[in-house]
Amino acid sequence: MNQSLGIMTLNPQVTNSYFLGIAKQSLSYPIDLYLFSPKGISPLNETVDGFYFNKESQSWENEAFEIPEYIYDRTYYQKDIQSQQAKAVVQWLKNQRHIRFLGYGLPNKWHLYEKLKKTPISPFIPETYLLTDGNHLLNLLTEHKDIIIKPVDGAHGFAIYHLVESRGGIVVRTTKKEGIMEQSFQRKEIFIKWVNRILQQHTFICQKRILNLTKEEAPFDLRILLNKNAHGEWREFQRAIRVGEPQAILTNISMGAAYKSYSDWKTLHDSSWDYIEEELTDIMQEMPLILEEHFSALFEIGVDIMIAEDQSLWILDMNSKPGHKVVDALGQEKLPSLYKAPLDYCEFLASQSLTSLRRGDF
Ligand SMILES: Nc1ncnc2c1ncn2[C@@H]1O[C@H](COP(=O)(O)OP(=O)(O)O)[C@@H](O)[C@H]1O
Ligand SMILES: [Mg+2]
């Protein structure tokens, strides 16, 4: 019997090239592929309104179906009510014993930090503070001078502020669609008021700003995409340098940064690459296992790593729902293998549960 795998996303789009890529590869797998939104689920009769990939016409077709046995969760939530409702449905799904997620996701940045600072990769995790109020931030700024604050549940560079203390006062910069917005505060009271206002919107963490700039004064970092192969083993799938715009705060692609080939970068920029690569290999071997041990099973991870000016490495961010455009940009020849990965891993999970069934483990 075929496995059923559902790609889940808040607003399914039949034109999504990543999902279509997976769908085209599914032709050679004993897998029925679906695309749906948690908003399309009716928990009462456990059915979904969504799309089914018709292997004959090779297109997504509107259909109502039972909740697939395997789920590839690609939902990004916002703050609105629809998102909150969808989140509750997904939580309910995760608790269904007959449904398996390829990956169960990671907690927010603060919970991640609290756990990871007690693990062997702690030397690579920047010291992080949970902001309590305006005075707290003022003290952190006095101590560290140049800091970044970001929402615990942020993504894509959203609501990230860069703060510096200078003679004239405090300068706050953030990235908007139109570019960088800057505001300076001469008076502490007004600054504290501003902080308390943004703290009402999000819970923030604070870190020292780690810097490495190009000659054009653009920030850059390293993005590594890890995923599991057909045997359920972790592998590095793609490595890239992300370069932000000159003077920018962020290296998120959604905020105007660009991918550059890692090997080209290495030849153009003098650095202790041997040392850096040795450390990277260690981190990449340990990190996914540590994450799965402390949180839950994962299928893929996108890691943001900053190489500071003194060559020290810092893990800035870990994403359990990473983008895949990096492969389009730098690893075209690997695209078929990228699209096969969720199908292979679904098959692997199915074979696992069969062997444990045979052993009577359930
Ligand atoms: N401590 C920091 N020092 C320097 N840059 C940072 C720091 N924290 C975040 N950034 C910049 O902001 C970007 C987004 O931060 P990140 O923690 O990855 O959150 P998000 O989930 O929004 O991607 C990073 O890729 C990096 O360019
Ligand atoms: Mg990030």
Give the tokens for residue 113: 């930090």
Give how far Cα 259 sits from Cα of 173, 238, 293, Å. 24, 11, 31
The pLDDT > 90 percentage for the chain reads 91
Beta bridge partners of 48: 41, 65
What residue type is 321 in one-letter code? K
**278 alpha carbon – ligand 2 mean position (Å):** 23
CA angle 183, 80, 52 (to 5 degrees): 130
pLDDT digit string, tens, across residues 35-58? 999 999 998 888 999 999 999 999
With the CA atoms of 184, 188, 194 and 200 taken in that order, what torsion angle do they form, in degrees rounded to the nearest 10? 150
Report the C-alpha gap between 169 and 191 in whole angstroms: 10
**157 alpha carbon – ligand 1 mean position (Å):** 7
Q: Are 263 and 222 in contact (CB under 8 A)?
A: no
Q: Strand 47-54 vs strand 31-42: parallel, antiparallel, or unpaired?
A: antiparallel
Would you state the pLDDT for residue 95? 94
Q: Which atom of ligand 1 is nearest to the CA of 244?
A: 27
To the nearest whole number, what is the mean pLDDT of the chain?
A: 95
Q: Which atom of ligand 1 is nearest to the CA of 208?
A: 1
Report the C-alpha gap between 216 and 39 in whole angstroms: 45
Q: Centre a 10 Å sphere on the Cβ of residue 156 and count the other Cβ atoms it contains.
A: 14
Report the C-alpha gap between 299 and 18 in whole angstroms: 16
From 208, 224, 250, mutation site for ligand 1 pocket: most ligand atoms within 8 A of C-beta = 250
Name the CATH code of domain 109-125+213-330 (choices 3.40.50.11900, 3.40.710.10, 3.30.470.20, 3.20.20.70).
Answer: 3.30.470.20
Report the C-alpha gap between 131 and 199 in whole angstroms: 8
**Residue 167: which pLDDT band, with cuts at 50, 70 and 90?**
confident
**328 alpha carbon – ligand 2 mean position (Å):** 19
Would you state the pLDDT for residue 355? 67
Q: Helix or strand or coil: residue 97?
A: coil
Ligand nearest to the CA of 150: 1
Q: Which atom of ligand 1 is nearest to the CA of 160?
A: 12
Report the C-alpha gap between 150 and 162 in whole angstroms: 9
- List ligand 1's pocket residues with C-beta within 6 A: 126, 148, 150, 154-158, 160, 207, 209-210, 219, 221, 250-252, 304, 316-317
Sheet of 234-243, strands arranged across: 258-261, 234-243, 220-228, 300-307, 313-319
From 127, 145, 160, 222, mutation site for ligand 1 pocket: most ligand atoms within 8 A of C-beta = 160
**154 alpha carbon – ligand 2 mean position (Å):** 9
Is residue 310 classed exposed, middle or buried when 0-12, 13-18 and 19+ CB atoms within 10 A define those classes? exposed
Would you state the pLDDT for residue 264? 97
Report the C-alpha gap between 323 and 50 in whole angstroms: 22
**317 alpha carbon – ligand 1 mean position (Å):** 7
Give the tokens for residue 221: 């970092």
Q: Helix or strand or coil: residue 22?
A: helix
Give the tokens for residue 298: 């994962």
**42 alpha carbon – ligand 1 mean position (Å):** 37
pLDDT digit string, tens, across residues 332-346? 999 999 999 999 999
Rounded CA Rg of the chain: 22
pLDDT digit string, tens, across residues 263-294? 999 999 989 999 999 999 999 999 999 999 99
Would you state the pLDDT for residue 115? 97
Q: Where are the domains of the chain?
A: 3-101, 109-125+213-330, 128-208
Q: Strand 70-73 vs strand 100-101: parallel, antiparallel, or unpaired?
A: parallel
What residue type is 155 in one-letter code? A
**In the chain, what's the furthest Cα-to-Cα distance?**
72
Q: Centre a 10 Å sphere on the Cβ of residue 135 and count the other Cβ atoms it contains.
A: 12
Atom 11 of ligand 1, nearest CA residue: 250
For the four alpha carbons of 117, 79, 244 and 237, in that order, the dihedral sign comes to positive
Atom 18 of ligand 1, nearest CA residue: 317
Atom 13 of ligand 1, nearest CA residue: 250
Q: How far apart are the first and last CA of the chain?
A: 20
Higher pLDDT, 239 or 43: 239
Ligand nearest to the CA of 248: 1
Q: Which range has the worst mean pLDDT, 98-102, 165-169, 247-251, 267-271?
A: 165-169
CATH number, span 3-101: 3.40.50.20
Q: Are 316 and 305 in contact (CB under 8 A)?
A: yes
Would you state the pLDDT for residue 359? 59
Would you state the pLDDT for residue 339? 98
**299 alpha carbon – ligand 1 mean position (Å):** 23
Atom 2 of ligand 1, nearest CA residue: 209
**97 alpha carbon – ligand 2 mean position (Å):** 32
